[in-house]
Amino acid sequence: MYLLLDIGNSRTKAVIYENGKFTLLSDLNLQSIAPYRFIAVYVACVGFDEHVEQLQYTLGLTHLPWYRLVSQTAAFGVVNRYATPERLGVDRWLAILGADSLLQAKNLMIVDAGTALTIDWLDMSQQHQGGWIIPGLRLQQEAVIKNTARVGSTPDDSQELILGVNTQDCVKNGALAALCGAIRAGWQLKPTDVIFLTGGDAPKLAQYLSDLPVQLDPLLIFRGIARYIAT
């Protein structure tokens, strides 16, 4: 039994992994992990190293091996397009590997809708084609609010793809429109067989992309991590 951690910029997600089965933990603390006996901890971290060290102590798991994953030139047949492979965010790399584990010999578009919205393309020969990084829903709103005079708004998670009739609605709905538009533009630029959508804002975006070949998968990064355990 393994503990898998995805430490992002704004939150940490945790999964219990055993015999090919993923169990998502709603909370990560001493009480939530107490019933389990882990062999090791596998970590994907795009935040500060101190976050990993802190979790080792707060979870009482300093006695276990902790494996910190990094992006590679190639793994499991998947080839990284970056000239400096380790500069590709490990969350993006693992999401690509996760998507590849579900569908091979297909052209894939992998969208991770978190603090930032990342889009990556993987072709049917497992070659990473490149990607985009775009501010996520909350970051887009904060950018407008902080850098525009007299907006008088606050970031909000209640976006709808409708026209706003006040400034706050215009800002939050505009952010949603921008991300949906970016995904559509990406698919028009380089169409794929499937668009994998993961991350905290994925369900919200998916409801406005129903005409595209979208497949929601909240475990995509963890599927990528699990491939390293199998080796």
Which of 6, 27, 91, 201 is an active site residue?
A: 91
Distance CA 14, CA 28 (A): 7
Q: Which helix (H) or strand (E) holds 58?
A: helix 49-58
CB 140 within 8 A of CB 178: yes
Q: Which of 97, 71, 69, 68 is nearest to 85 (CA)?
A: 71
Alpha helices in 156-198 (DSSP H): 167-189
Distance CA 73, CA 130 (A): 13
DSSP state for residue 10 in the 8-state scheme = S
Is residue 123 part of the annotated active site? The answer reads no
Residues acting as catalytic residues: 91
